[in-house]
Structure 1
Amino acid sequence: MIWTYCEQWNNLTEKPMTPLTPEQAEARHASGELYTAVSSPAEQSTPTLRVEMRLETGYASVIFMDESGRDTLDYTFTLINGSLFLETATSRSYGNSQERGGYADADRTETYEFTTDGVMQRAIEEEGGESKESRHGVDVSSNWEPVPAFGAYASLIRRER
């Protein structure tokens, strides 16, 4: 994977906002300031995922994108006692939409919210409405991740969880 860095990613233009050198991004990682690592496989010029880090506020997110630059899967982590906890997982599908990036509206969104004590809430939004359910006693041990060193995102960016 090839990583490039910026302050934030613009979904509408599908381009980085305030590009950063690796050294600038590493300094932001160390200080906890916001930065985004954008990955493109060597054979593609279109990014396939982003890692957003803002450790000063306890936030990290991994966003997987499709070939049209649309967010399809988002894992949001919160910093608790020095480790990252997967708090929210959101998947989006776009059906036959030809819209790109931030211009596309998902035709189905499925969101899972987790608590450290094993409560999971699931919400599904689609054209026909919304449904919700809760479960207690869910094993959330796999929701924990160590805070990665700068550039070492392999464990954090696992798609299958």
Structure 2
Amino acid sequence: MAKLFFGEWWNEEHKFLSVPMTEEEARAVYEAGGEISVVLAEGEVATYHPDVNPDFDAEDDGGDPVQWFLYADLRRSVRLPDQPDVVLVDFFDFWGSVDASYRFELMSDGRLFLTQVAEYDYPDATRYHESTSWETLTTHGFAPEGTSSVTTARRLADGTKEMSRTDFRNGDFSTHWEPVPAWGEWASITRRDRSRPA
């Protein structure tokens, strides 16, 4: 049965949770507006804390992949335009490679809006790939007023990249809105398929 684990950050490459927390500790950080990470895993996860296991070796002591990783930085305070309050959600394949990354930003009405979806395609699906090793990266951008874009980057055989972008207007993004999750209510914001009911 899948379980939730909490900490400061999930290391995608070596598959461990840094500075693990109890649920009570994580909830206090989250509700105070601090940075928090949540992962959903089928089994136990590897963890690292400099005060607990300082000899942790990421290469040897990392663990198994997780299903999704949520990072919240919701201070709910005034910030610079390029530093919005965000919730990031990464989804992983069987090997732990990032399959898709969702970015939600806090809007002026107090709700979150899905502003970006990045989808990763790798050279093969038989092993783990770092997210930077994509063969094709498709990035969807969305704005609340209905504009959107699709940017596709492809790595060619000669090592160069091919880029294309298409812009759209008058989109219906009603499924992109999310309330700021109350502690523990992660089911809606961690939907890979946004057309599925929460």
Alpha-carbon deviation of 1:103?
7.0
1:2, 1:40 within 8 Å by CA — same for their partners in 2?
yes
2:98, 2:131 within 8 Å by CA — same for their partners in 1?
no
**Unaligned stretches of 5+ in structure 2?**
46-63, 76-83, 157-161
2:96 is equivalent to residue 96 of structure 1: no
2:8, 2:37 within 8 Å by CA — same for their partners in 1?
yes
- The aligned counterpart of 1:132 is 165
**Unaligned stretches of 5+ in structure 1?**
none
Q: CA–CA distance in 2 between the matches of 1:102 and 1:29?
A: 28
Q: Which has the larger radius of gyration?
A: 2
For residue 134 of structure 2, give the secondary structure of its aligned residue in structure 1.
coil
How well do the aligned residues superpose, as a CA RMSD in angstroms? 2.1
Q: CA–CA distance in 2 between the matches of 1:93 and 1:48?
A: 17
Q: CA–CA distance in 2 between the matches of 1:20 and 1:75?
A: 24
Amino acid at match of 1:47: V
Q: Pick from 80, 85, 88: which aligns with 1:61?
A: 88
- The aligned counterpart of 1:121 is 149
2:139 is equivalent to residue 111 of structure 1: yes
Deviates more, 1:6-15 or 1:130-139: 6-15
In the superposition, the TM-score normalised over structure 1's length comes to 0.91
1:14, 1:101 within 8 Å by CA — same for their partners in 2?
no
Identity of aligned residues (%): 26
Moved over 2 A (4+): 97-104
Count of residues in correspondence between the two structures = 161
- The aligned counterpart of 1:145 is 178
